[in-house]
């Protein structure tokens, strides 16, 4: 698989910065799991040495918001050492050993609403990238 050294900036369609490399080149290999496949496909299309911007709809980026991925859980389902607060990211392990991260959307007594959708689900994004090196 191809390896890349690049600079990038990922922004929400509303202009809010989501993530960036800053001035420090980011290095990764296609398929290594560091970037979402939608961003990897942009990188594969990009021209080395030319700053480019890719605008993606939610369908092209991180997908739709699925109601099934929003769960109301009981406070007792959370480990004692986790501080339950709005917008906190919480990692859960399934009985099969898989891990899922959810964001706490609402707290009503012992009912905690956790959103397991990708944080950018339902949103368009802007992905600015400059490939410094492909090897």
Would you put residue 134 in left (φ > 0), alpha (ψ -120 to 50) or beta?
beta
Domains of the chain: 3-63+120-134 (3.10.50.40), 67-115 (2.40.10.330)
What are the two backbone dihedrals, phi and then psi, of residue 13, each rounded to the nearest 5 degrees? Answer: -60, -25
Model pLDDT for residues 38-79, shown as the tens digit of each residue: 999 999 999 999 999 999 999 999 999 999 999 999 999 898
User: In the prediction, which pLDDT does 44 show?
Assistant: 97
Q: Are 112 and 72 in contact (CB under 8 A)?
A: yes
Residue 102 has pLDDT above 90, yes or no: yes
Alpha helices in the chain (DSSP H): 37-45
User: In the prediction, which pLDDT does 71 show?
Assistant: 96
């Amino acid at each position: 698989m191809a390896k890349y050294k690049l600079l990038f900036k990922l922004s929400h369609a509303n202009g809010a910065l989501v993530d960036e490399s800053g001035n420090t080149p980011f290095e990764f290999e296609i398929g290594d799991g560091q970037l979402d496949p939608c961003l990897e496909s942009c990188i594969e299309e990009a021209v080395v040495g030319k700053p480019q911007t890719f605008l993606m709809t939610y369908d092209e980026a991180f997908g739709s918001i699925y109601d099934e991925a929003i769960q109301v859980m009981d406070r007792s389902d959370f480990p004692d050492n986790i501080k339950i607060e709005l917008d906190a990211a919480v990692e859960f392990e399934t009985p099969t050993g898989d891990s899922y991260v959810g964001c706490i959307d609402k707290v009503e007594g012992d009912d905690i609403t956790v959103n397991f959708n990708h944080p950018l689900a339902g949103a368009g994004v802007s992905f600015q990238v400059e490939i410094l090196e492909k090897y």
